[in-house]
Amino acid sequence: MIGARIRDFLELIRFSHTLFALPFALMGAALAAHSQGGWHGRLRDWVGIVVCMATARSAAMAFNRVADRHHDALNPRTASRHLPAGRLSVAAVSVFAAVSSLCFIAATLIFLPNRLPIALSIPVLLWLLAYSYSKRFTSLAHVWLGVSLGLAPIAAWIAIAGGLAWPPVLLGIAVTAWVAGFDIIYACQDADFDRSAGLKSIPRLLGVKHALRAAAALHAAMIAPLIALGLIYPLGLPYFLGVTAVAGLLLYEHALVRPDDLSRVNQAFFHVNAWISVGLLCVTLLDLAV
């Protein structure tokens, strides 16, 4: 029974999807540690970043499920989710979101004597939670989500280095464009439902065909800040080969979906994007190591 309940919560927050954001946070941390004279950094800082990422994402996902439960129940694609299906109660998920939020704030104490993480934890958390209501008033909710994940490498750099610099900002911009782009692709599945429910999105605003073009433009825009990061930091051949591979994977992602055929959206969303985030982390670590 307990094991089943734990599995329900992990499925609720899609814990496995931490792969989308965590690699970029670790990449920001590695770059920050390297800039301080040793790419490996302090072990407790790495632990702190992983804990902060897991708890912040858990809080945001659980809060989103509570905020969207009525819309999820009406949408055939999401009606089987845990809250609409009655597998978890609103009270239990709300408590989980609250506990995760408190754990995120507490985890920032790991970075002391650096006080910036604890000072910024509540504004960052509020931004993450507010995303759940963004589709009620703006078609740019995809960009809001992109910024939410784009904050990860910036926050990791601040946690390690105690300040801000151009490399994490460039990486954050790249992540923002990447996430906004693939979220638009994913939202194409719900264009008709968003229209009927009064929710805002790029697919509802522009139509699926033009939404996919907007997603492609955002993904093309991701490459420029990645190149700029490699030049400014600077990074070497392994990193730039990785950026080239990312560009190829993005092209493949867009080849999987068409306005008249969205059947492979999940393949594009989950599989290709995981390769992008984990792959870019690996080539960056290799570059810093050699």
Q: Tens digit of pLDDT for each residue in 252-287? A: 999 999 999 998 998 877 888 889 999 999 999 999
pLDDT in tens, 39-93: 566 789 999 999 999 999 999 999 999 999 999 999 999 999 999 999 999 999 9
* 153 within 8 A of 171, measured Cβ to Cβ: yes
The C-alpha atoms of residue 108 and residue 228 are separated, in whole angstroms, by 30
* Domain containing residue 117: 2-289
The residue among 246 and 2 whose pLDDT is bigger is 246
Closest CA to 168 of 244, 111, 253, 225: 225
- Tell me which residue has tokens 């990791």: 156
Q: How many domains does the chain have?
A: 1
CATH of the domain at 279: 1.10.357.140
